[in-house]
């Protein structure tokens, strides 16, 4: 993936924005369990009362609470509460506490920090005393009954000792164990003063619920923002990669095309880029989100309940073991996936491209067997991977439910011992689920990252492939109009990895206004030789010059702009006849198209078509015959009006009559151009000013038809095999 990191630079702002959104989403998700915990702990269990120190308290209750306070706490309370008198403050407080009267107490506007702790300890001491009295009396008397007997209890020495013991116990009890007792006592004080405690509880729950709703809206916005940024980045990178891969491939020469199969190039520019796009759009999101949620979940969980930390540790160990085991088995299959897709595409393309040959040889069953094998290999690999991954979700759910069960089991014991609150246990369960889900996301990364990495390597292979035929750093240029004088000087050529030269010591000169023809047995190097002129390959030794300039010193665009090329296999593009002919010159007027079609002997069949030059051509030109396709390919090259024309065995698909008429018209049309013709038929090249005879990559004869009949045995054998003695004469 790092090989393609440069494609992320234009989208760095989107990436940073996505990370910021994901961080915000994670923080908000980690905050929500705390609010849920508060609703349970405070809203439900404490009746919505958040403080242990009441805002208002009657005289009797204040006196009772101070009995259970240490001297230090009692002084703090006396300095924090004021005794009410008739007046505006009392009237205002009576709106909330109707039974409040003069002589009762109210909390000052800015109370001391420790005041809540003082009332919490006093409340805990009071509750402890009630429990101890009930235990001694083996009864279940309620708090009011114990309180009514409190004065009697204080008059007894053992009673005073019990109260002091309760105060001392509360002083050393951890804050987490006494924090809930105070609000419960405050609720009873408020009820005694006539306050609507149900309204207090409802208001608290609604307030925190609205906060959770607001956080959920923000969380959703962050999720949408992150998704938008990553989707834009993924789509943009995918677009840029497809553009660069296509551009790179269009500049590939034959050497590079030999390195990659067409099916593989198609797979790389579609499926592989899609894998990278999916990774950037979805995988990167999980890669950034999962660690934040995992680490944050652990931190928040431990801050909620340290005593259950071992449960999180157990979950982590189980999840790590599960992921390592699973992916040690499945990972090699993930890496193999793309090559199997390549193979399937290759078989499909071969069958579709050669469907006529397959039918002609009645070999449908053989091709089906090839396809079935490639298809079954891919299916088997995919099924193995999917089965392996299918076990992940049930395993995760088993771990999640098991961890939840452990938390509830051991958390319940902590709650019974007043070491943990119910809301905190519920929050801890959610944090544990966040941690486990983070590992689930990480496990999904093991699916996406290897495939995306393999895809990135395959795309990088294309982008980093050095063109063996490349433009020079300081190219030369033609001076004025190109004449078209082409000269081969001791040219040799060898394919990459070959043991011997395909062409050896080729030397000849082709002049403007003349036709240079090439003939020889199959495999003698005719097509390879003419492919050296437009630099589809570069000569291994020697040089090829045009108007005295070595073609390797020219810019490829400038070189090929001056060459009209017709390949062996006539290939047309989807569009109209006119658009195909204008491929040679996009600005060519209709008169030029008609002239080129006339020379190529294509006018007759074009005129018979209902739409003429506007007739649609299907992909590859499959809706016209081979001869028509070949003539349109010739016309396309002629539209270019180039100083050099190359016809690579382009007349073989034509009948003798059309061949003769085309060559006659072509002679006039190209009277000032250098023409190269590769042919198999002697009749096609008999009138050429220069015929080059090749045999196993060497020139064995060069000259005109009659001279070669006398001096070149190879040419004479070819001629005698095709023409009668009368025709040769």
Q: Give the 3-state secondary structure percentages of the chain, helix then strand then coil, rounded to 5.
A: 65, 10, 25
Confidence of residue 692 (pLDDT cuts 50, 70, 90): very high
Confidence of residue 363 (pLDDT cuts 50, 70, 90): confident
Contact 30, 432 (CB under 8 A): no
Q: What is the DSSP letter of 554?
A: B
692 part of a folded domain: yes
478 part of a folded domain: no
Domain total for the chain? Answer: 4
Digit-coded pLDDT (tens) for 213-245 = 999 999 999 999 999 999 999 999 999 999 999
- Do residue 558 and residue 621 come from a single domain? no
What is the reported pLDDT for 155? 62
Q: What is the DSSP letter of 7?
A: G
Confidence of residue 19 (pLDDT cuts 50, 70, 90): very high
Contact 125, 68 (CB under 8 A): yes
199 part of a folded domain: no
Using alpha carbons only, what angle is made at residue 147 by residues 97 and 128, rounded to the nearest 5 degrees?
105
Domain boundary among 591, 613, 641: 641
* Conformation bin of residue 547: beta by default, left when phi > 0, alpha when psi is -120 to 50: left
Range list of H helices, 68-193: 71-78, 88-94, 115-137, 143-148, 150-154, 157-172, 175-178, 181-192
- Do residue 398 and residue 434 come from a single domain? yes
CA–CA gap between residue 286 and residue 268 (Å, rounded): 25
Six-digit token pair at 406?
A: 């452990």
Q: Given a cut of 90, is residue 136 above it in pLDDT?
A: no
| Cα of 669 vs its chain's centroid, Å | 54
Q: Given a cut of 60, is residue 143 above it in pLDDT?
A: no
Residue that wins the pLDDT comparison between 684 and 132: 684
Digit-coded pLDDT (tens) for 513-526 = 999 999 988 888 88
Please identify which residue in the block is written with the tokens 């040799």. 492
606 to 309, 582, 600, 621, 635: CA distances (angstroms): 83, 15, 11, 14, 12
499 to 254, 366, 635: CA distances (angstroms): 18, 34, 39
Q: What is the mean pLDDT of residues 143-160?
A: 62
697 part of a folded domain: yes
Q: Coil, helix or strand for 473? A: coil
Contacts with 375 (C-beta within 8 Å, 6 or more apart), sequence order: 344
- Paired with 549 in beta bridges are 546
Q: Which domain holds residue 540?
A: 486-562+642-728
Contact 67, 154 (CB under 8 A): yes
Long-range CB pairs of 198-205 (<8 Å, 24+ gap) are 200/47, 200/48, 200/49, 201/43, 201/44, 201/47, 201/48, 202/48, 203/48, 204/42, 204/43, 204/48, 204/49, 204/50, 205/39, 205/43, 205/44, 205/48
Q: What is the mean pLDDT of residues 329-355?
A: 75
- Do residue 602 and residue 651 come from a single domain? no
What is the reported pLDDT for 458? 84
Digit-coded pLDDT (tens) for 28-66 = 999 999 888 888 888 888 888 888 889 999 998 898 888
- Do residue 276 and residue 319 come from a single domain? yes
Using alpha carbons only, what angle is made at residue 156 by residues 150 and 159, rounded to the nearest 5 degrees?
60
- Do residue 648 and residue 636 come from a single domain? no
Domain boundary among 592, 612, 641: 641
What CATH number does the domain containing 665 carry?
3.40.50.300
What CATH number does the domain containing 11 carry?
1.20.1560.10
Q: Given a cut of 70, is residue 151 above it in pLDDT?
A: no
- Do residue 602 and residue 540 come from a single domain? no
Centre a 10 Å sphere on the Cβ of residue 81 and count the other Cβ atoms it contains. Answer: 21
193 part of a folded domain: no
Q: Given a cut of 60, is residue 21 above it in pLDDT?
A: yes
Digit-coded pLDDT (tens) for 405-448 = 888 888 888 877 777 788 888 888 888 888 888 887 877 777 77
194 part of a folded domain: no
Digit-coded pLDDT (tens) for 281-326 = 888 888 888 888 888 888 888 888 888 888 888 888 888 888 787 7
Contact 430, 411 (CB under 8 A): no
- Do residue 557 and residue 611 come from a single domain? no
CA–CA gap between residue 194 and residue 204 (Å, rounded): 19
Q: What is the mean pLDDT of residues 241-270?
A: 82
- Do residue 268 and residue 346 come from a single domain? yes
- Do residue 97 and residue 165 come from a single domain? yes
Confidence of residue 148 (pLDDT cuts 50, 70, 90): low
307 part of a folded domain: yes
Domain boundary among 423, 448, 463: 463
Six-digit token pair at 516?
A: 């240079």
pTM of the model: 0.73
Digit-coded pLDDT (tens) for 609-637 = 888 888 888 877 777 888 888 888 889 99
What is the reported pLDDT for 515? 92
187 part of a folded domain: no
Confidence of residue 145 (pLDDT cuts 50, 70, 90): low
Q: How many residues does the chain have?
A: 729
Six-digit token pair at 124?
A: 């805990």
- Do residue 107 and residue 174 come from a single domain? yes
Contact 458, 275 (CB under 8 A): no
- Do residue 547 and residue 576 come from a single domain? no
Confidence of residue 142 (pLDDT cuts 50, 70, 90): low
Six-digit token pair at 559?
A: 């070189």
Q: Given a cut of 60, is residue 147 above it in pLDDT?
A: no
What is the reported pLDDT for 150? 60
5 to 9, 275, 410, 460: CA distances (angstroms): 7, 15, 48, 11
Contact 401, 270 (CB under 8 A): no
- Do residue 224 and residue 283 come from a single domain? yes
């Amino acid at each position: 993936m790092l090989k393609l990191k440069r494609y992320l630079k234009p989208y760095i702002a989107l990436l940073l924005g996505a990370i910021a959104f994901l961080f915000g989403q994670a923080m908000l998700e980690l905050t929500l369990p705390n609010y849920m915990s508060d609703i349970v702990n405070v809203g439900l269990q404490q009746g919505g009362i958040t403080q242990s120190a009441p805002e208002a308290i009657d005289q009797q209750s204040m006196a009772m609470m101070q009995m259970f306070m240490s001297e230090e706490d009692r002084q703090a309370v006396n300095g924090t509460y004021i005794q009410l008198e008739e007046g505006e403050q009392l009237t205002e407080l009576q709106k909330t506490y109707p039974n409040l009267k003069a002589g009762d107490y109210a909390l000052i506007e800015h109370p001391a920090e420790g005041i809540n702790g003082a009332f919490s300890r006093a409340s805990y001491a009071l509750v402890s005393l009630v429990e101890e009295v009930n235990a001694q009396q083996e009864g279940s008397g309620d708090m009011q009954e114990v309180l009514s007997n409190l004065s009697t209890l204080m008059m007894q020495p053992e009673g005073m000792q019990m109260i002091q013991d309760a105060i001392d116990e509360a002083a050393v009890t951890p804050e987490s164990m006494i924090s809930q007792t105070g609000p419960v006592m405050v609720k009873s004080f408020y009820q005694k003063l006539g306050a609507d405690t149900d309204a207090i509880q409802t208001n608290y729950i609604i307030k925190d619920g609205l906060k959770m709703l607001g956080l959920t809206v923000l969380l959703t916005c962050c999720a949408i923002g992150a998704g938008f940024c990553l989707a834009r980045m993924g789509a943009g990178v995918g677009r840029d990669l497809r553009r660069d891969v296509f551009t790179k491939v269009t500049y590939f020469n034959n050497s590079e095309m030999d390195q990659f199969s067409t099916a593989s190039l198609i797979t790389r520019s579609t499926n592989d880029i899609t894998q990278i796009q999916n990774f950037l759009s979805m995988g990167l999101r999980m890669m950034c989100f999962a660690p934040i949620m995992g680490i944050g979940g652990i931190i928040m969980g431990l801050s909620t309940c340290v005593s259950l930390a071992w449960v999180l540790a157990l979950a982590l160990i189980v999840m790590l073991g599960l992921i390592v085991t699973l992916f040690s088995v499945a990972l090699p299959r993930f890496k193999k996936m793309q090559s199997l897709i390549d193979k399937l595409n290759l078989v499909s393309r071969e069958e579709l491209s050669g469907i006529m040959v397959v039918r002609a040889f009645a070999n449908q069953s053989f091709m089906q067997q090839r396809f079935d094998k490639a298809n079954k290999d891919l299916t088997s690999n995919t099924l193995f991977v999917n089965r392996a991954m299918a076990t992940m979700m049930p395993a995760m759910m088993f771990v999640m439910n098991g961890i939840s069960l452990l938390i509830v089991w051991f958390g319940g014991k902590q709650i019974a011992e007043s070491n943990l609150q119910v809301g905190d246990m519920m929050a801890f369960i959610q944090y544990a689920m966040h941690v486990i889900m983070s590992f689930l996301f990480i496990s999904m990364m093991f699916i996406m990252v290897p495939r995306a990495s393999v895809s990135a390597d395959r795309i990088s292979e294309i982008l980093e492939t050095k063109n063996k035929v490349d433009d020079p750093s300081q190219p030369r240029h033609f001076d004025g109009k190109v004449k078209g004088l082409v000269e081969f000087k001791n040219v040799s050529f060898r394919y990459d990895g070959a043991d011997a030269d395909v062409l050896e010591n080729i030397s000849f000169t082709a002049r403007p206004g003349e036709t240079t023809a090439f003939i020889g047995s199959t495999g003698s190097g005719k097509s390879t030789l003419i492919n050296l002129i437009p630099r589809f390959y570069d000569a291994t030794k020697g040089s090829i010059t045009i108007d005295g300039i070595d073609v390797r010193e020219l810019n490829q665009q400038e070189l090929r702009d001056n060459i009209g090329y017709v390949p062996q296999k006539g290939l047309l593009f989807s569009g109209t006849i006119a658009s195909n002919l204008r491929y040679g010159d996009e600005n060519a007027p209709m008169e030029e198209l008609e002239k080129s079609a006339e020379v190529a002997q294509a006018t007759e069949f074009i005129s018979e078509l209902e739409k003429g030059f506007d007739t649609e051509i299907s992909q590859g030109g499959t809706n016209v015959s081979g001869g028509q396709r070949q003539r349109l390919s010739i016309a396309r090259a002629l539209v270019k009006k180039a100083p050099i024309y190359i016809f690579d065995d382009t007349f073989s698909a034509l009948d003798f009559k059309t061949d003769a008429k085309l060559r006659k018209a072509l002679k006039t049309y190209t009277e000032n151009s250098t023409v190269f013709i590769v042919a198999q038929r002697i009749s096609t090249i008999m009138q050429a000013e220069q015929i080059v005879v090749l045999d196993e990559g060497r020139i064995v004869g060069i000259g005109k038809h009659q001279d070669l009949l006398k001096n070149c045995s190879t040419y004479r054998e070819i001629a005698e095999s095709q023409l009668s003695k009368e025709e040769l004469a």
